Chains A and B, each alone.
Chain A
Amino acid sequence: EDKVVQSPLSLVVHEGDTVTLNCSYEVTNFRSLLWYKQEKKAPTFLFMLTSSGIEKKSGRLSSILDKKELFSILNITATQTGDSAVYLCAVEAGSGGSNYKLTFGKGTLLTVNP
């Protein structure tokens, strides 16, 4: 059974801090790893990672994938209160066609205090 484990489950920081969120996985036929941000509504897409060692960056957020060690990290620098949300990691796996599957972790609840 495919598994995605995120850590920590929750994190409280102060504005300006840098945080690192972790996602490890065990899946069959890995295709990609996705990060989402969820603020009491629809999860919104952040990054999709398919290759090891290539950093994806968007403003203060960045993410990297290690396919050998089966994990990804999401970094947020100079955090702001607006970064407070649940960050979801999901892994796409499958051999194609109807065997495609997206497995989610439980999420990391990030709270950024002023």
Chain B
Amino acid sequence: ETGVTQTPRHLVMGMTNKKSLKCEQHLGHNAMYWYKQSAKKPLELMFVYNFKEQTENNSVPSRFSPECPNSSHLFLHLHTLQPEDSALYLCASSQDLRRYSGNTIYFGEGSWLTVV
């Protein structure tokens, strides 16, 4: 139990579906992240939110739409995905983005997404 909870753990969706991934952290952190983990590739940062404001969009296609209503919750809305989007999507949080914080990121267990 890392203090970061993701739901659903597994999701299978068609290319025309709309679904959402949810992340909740109970650590009192202010920064939250979405990462994509594909087979045999490094973890890829998708989005960063700090105090509910998006600070980074790592050239992610618009079919992925993040939402951060407060510092404890982060969503990833999915629409018209492609089979190559199938991957493990990891949510993470950290105290904040301050340069001297020696940030340590805590990960959720991930949502396994399969696009058919």
Q: Taking beta carbons and an 8 Å cutoff, which residues of A are in contact with B?
A: 4, 31-32, 34, 36, 41-45, 48, 50, 88, 90, 92, 94-98, 100-107
Q: Beyond A42-B109, A104-B43, is A98–B102 a contact (Cβ under 8 Å)? A: no
Q: Is the CB of A42 within 8 A of B4?
A: yes
| Closest partner residue, chain B, to A94 (CB atom) | B99
> In whole angstroms, how far apart are the Cα atoms of A106 and B98 in the complex?
26
> In whole angstroms, how far apart are the Cα atoms of A14 and B105 in the complex?
31
B-side interface residues, number (CB < 8 Å): 25
Residues from chain B with Cβ under 8 Å of A90 in the complex: 43, 105
Q: Taking beta carbons and an 8 Å cutoff, which residues of B are in contact with A?
A: 2, 4, 40-43, 45, 48, 50, 55-56, 90, 97-100, 102-110
Q: Is the CB of B102 within 8 A of A32?
A: yes
Q: Is the CB of A31 within 8 A of B102?
A: yes
A-B contact pairs, 15 of them (CB 8 A): A31-B103, A32-B102, A36-B107, A42-B2, A48-B102, A90-B43, A92-B103, A96-B97, A98-B48, A98-B56, A101-B45, A101-B56, A103-B42, A106-B40, A106-B41
Q: Is the CB of B43 within 8 A of A32?
A: no
Q: Is the CB of A102 within 8 A of B97?
A: no
Q: Is the CB of B50 within 8 A of A98?
A: yes
CB-contact partner of A98 in B97, B107, B110, under 8 A: B97
Q: Is the CB of B106 within 8 A of A50?
A: no
Most A CB contacts (10 A, CB to CB) among B98, B107, B108 go to B107
Residues from chain B with Cβ under 8 Å of A45 in the complex: 104-106
